Amino acid sequence: MEKLNNFYEEYDEYDFIDDADIQSDKYLTFFVDDQLFGISISQVVQISGMQEVTEVPEFPKYVKGVISFRDTIIPLIDVRIRLKKEEIVSERQCIIITHIDGTYMGFIVDSVNEVTDIPHENITDPPQVGSDGGNSYINGIARLNDKIIILIDLNKILNEKEIDFITGGYDEEEQVEGQEEEQEEEHENE
């Protein structure tokens, strides 16, 4: 296990891509609301501390705005809000930068834990909830050293319409419908 220095450090994008076969069992684990999550290290480009965020009008609540990364403007998703948790601000929050379908995206998490090996035999399929299969972004549930880790695919935490809207290739009418659906869900949860 490789403990991360402090709770974030920079990684070289090519270290993960070139060693994809070697990295297949490696996961970056992080916390959101005291729950441990993991993502394949192959999805991670860099981990950085919080930085100045430029808010963008009309973005969904879980999109905090945009940041500059390698001379590119990238959207910043608050995973806590996306998972319908209460919004917080903490000095341990950090940004996991990924590359999704040719687009860089940043994800705010409460804190990064470590990079660890999770053997395939320690991973089970997620339980199916509801008729639509539940949370399609959950790849599996892992048990490691008496801890439960929810393995997620950040490529699937947003649907195609959301990614298109956030990255600029959106249809305003579809977005209005999406915002109305989001507001209805919020009212149902109150």
Instruction: Parse the chain into domains and list their residue ranges.
Output: 2-189
- pLDDT beyond 60 at 16: no
CATH class of 2-189: mainly beta
Which of the pair, 32 or 159, is modelled with greater confidence? Answer: 32
E-strand ranges in 126-173 read: 138-144, 147-152
Ramachandran region of residue 153, left (φ > 0), alpha (ψ -120 to 50) or beta?
beta
DSSP 56-70: -TT--TTEEEEEEET
Per-residue pLDDT at 30: 95
Cα gap 119→188, rounded to integer Å = 39
In this structure, the number of other CB atoms found within 10 A of the CB of residue 58 comes to: 11
Cα gap 148→81, rounded to integer Å = 21
CA distances from 75 to 14, 31, 65, 109, 139 (A): 21, 20, 6, 14, 23
Per-residue pLDDT at 2: 43
Which of the pair, 13 or 118, is modelled with greater confidence? Answer: 118
- Tell me what percent of the residues of the chain surpass a pLDDT of 90: 33
Ramachandran region of residue 34, left (φ > 0), alpha (ψ -120 to 50) or beta?
left
Q: Residue holding tokens 């687009």?
A: 103
Cα gap 177→86, rounded to integer Å = 24
Per-residue pLDDT at 12: 38
Mean per-residue pLDDT of the chain: 77
Strands 103-109 and 72-78, by their bridges, are parallel
Task: Find the farthest-apart pair of alpha carbons in the chain and give their distance in angstroms, rounded.
Answer: 48
Cα gap 110→91, rounded to integer Å = 9
Read off the pTM.
Answer: 0.72
